[in-house]
A and B are shown apart, each in its own frame.
Chain A
């Protein structure tokens, strides 16, 4: 299956710990997007990356959150010193290069729970 793969599907952390969420885009896709969905809310854009470059991080909280998409390997969304409010579903989507008018394809998300 060449779909967008996210892992882990579920992640439990205690307050103050670090959370690392991974996303492998679809084969041939070089654009990666991260979204957060809080309970009872819609998808909120966080960051848009291409290989080794952050294109738009306007939706990222200024502190504790970072993202990367290295030349090799998956994209990583990293949350340091997690707090209860970080509990949410985090979705990754990918799209091909020179996107034109092509849809994003989503993974099934990582559900982060903070104890």
Chain B
């Protein structure tokens, strides 16, 4: 049972434009949400997170939005840069259990 879903396997965006990556979850017990970035042949790297008590968290070019009523999470990257090309995983957690989505491969076109 996939409790965290990323329905878009891939996304292409022009350099300088906004990238929006989406994630849906089913378990209302989740209290912390994260985004990870992964390059080929490397492990995932933590990018940004948000607590369930917030609806927005911003860190430089990266902003995560949480809509608890819709059980929906999104990551905005603006402006997008070629170095942002990677696979992005969303994750949700409660009681030290982490659940990951299947990833979205982002390509930023120069």
Q: Which single member of B42, B49, B99 contacts A101 (CB below 8 Å)? A: B49
Q: Which single member of B31, B43, B102, B103 contacts A106 (CB below 8 Å)? A: B43
Asked if residues A108 and B99 are in contact (CB atoms below 8 Å), the reply is no
Known: A103-B49, A109-B43. A43 touches B31 (CB 8 A): no
Asked if residues B89 and A42 are in contact (CB atoms below 8 Å), the reply is yes
**A18 interface residue per 8 A CB criterion:** no
Q: Is the interface of B mostly helix, strand, loop or mixed?
A: strand
Which chain B residues border A103 with CB–CB below 8 Å?
34, 46, 49
Interface residues on A, range: 20 to 34
Q: A41, A101, A108 — which one has the most chain B CB atoms within 10 A of its CB? A: A101
Closest to A99 in B: B96
Which chain A residues border B32 with CB–CB below 8 Å?
101
Known: A4-B43, A106-B44, A108-B41. A41 touches B102 (CB 8 A): yes
Asked if residues B44 and A48 are in contact (CB atoms below 8 Å), the reply is no
Asked if residues B44 and A43 are in contact (CB atoms below 8 Å), the reply is yes
B→A interface (CB under 8 Å): 6, 31-32, 34, 36, 41-46, 49, 51, 89, 91, 93, 96-103
- List 6 tightest A-B contacts by C-beta distance, closest first: A42-B102, A106-B43, A103-B46, A101-B32, A43-B100, A108-B43
